Amino acid sequence: NRRRFDDMLDHEWRRAQRSNAPLALILLDIDYFKKYNDHYGHPAGDTCLQGVGGVLAASLNRTGDLPARYGGEEFAIILPATDLQGALAVAERMRQDILGLCIAHVESPFENVTASLGVASFEPGGKESLSTADLVMRADMQLYQAKAAGRNRVSGAAFRATGADADAGTNSGESQAAQ
C-alpha cells in the first residue's frame, strides 16, 4: 500500500506539472491512537483502523483519488486536480465522518475516535526544484498545526511553484479557504 502511494504520488506530481493543474495531499492522524490501543487492545485498534479506512474510501468519489495507510495510525490521501478549497472540503467531510462512526474512546477528551488532518495543495508554475517531498513536508506541517491547535481539526495551506504559501489556518468545524 505504501509503495503504491509513493508511485502514485510521483505519477500525479509529474502529471500536475505537465497539465499545470493543482495536486493536493491530506495527511490524517487518528487522535490519541496509542492510548486507544493501550486501553482497548490491538484487535480493537485494528478494527478502528479498518473503520477509518472505510470512511476514507467512501469519502472519495473520483477514481484518481487514492487513500493509503501511511504508517501506524496515519493515512495519506492523494487528490489530483484539486485545489486547496476542494481538498479542505474533502478533509472536513472525512473528519466529520470519522467522528460520526461514534467509536468510543474514553482516553480521548472528545470521548470518541477523532482525527487531525493536514492539507497541502501544490499549484505548479515552473519551479523545478520542488518535489513530492515538499508536498509531504507541507502536509505534515499542517497536520502538526492541527494537532497543536487541539486535535480533531483540519489545517491547510497551498503552495505555489514560486515557493509562496497561502495559509488556510486551522479549524474544528468548517474548513477555511486560503485568502
Dihedral sign, CA of 102, 175, 91, 75? negative
Pairwise pLDDT comparison (176 vs 17), residue with the higher score = 17
Tally Cβ neighbours within 10 Å of residue 21: 16
Phi-psi region of 131 (alpha: psi -120 to 50; beta: other; left: phi over 0): beta
What is the reported pTM? 0.89
pLDDT reading at 17 higher than 70: yes
Query: Annotated catalytic residue: which of 12, 73, 92, 123?
Result: 73
Instruction: Tell me which of 4-8, 15-19, 59-63, 124-128 is least confident.
Output: 124-128
Helix H segments across the chain? 2-19, 33-40, 42-59, 84-100, 132-148
How high is the pLDDT of residue 71? Answer: 87
* Whether 73 is catalytic: yes
Exposure string over 159-173, b if 16+ CB within 10 A, otherwise e: bbbeeeeebbbbbbe
How high is the pLDDT of residue 130? Answer: 83
The C-alpha cell at 158 is: 497551498
DSSP 110: T
Instruction: Quote the CA–CA distance of 26 and 143 in Å, as a whole number.
Output: 9
Q: pLDDT tier at 172 (50, 70, 90 boundaries)?
A: very low
Instruction: Quote the CA–CA distance of 138 and 122 in Å, as a whole number.
Output: 9
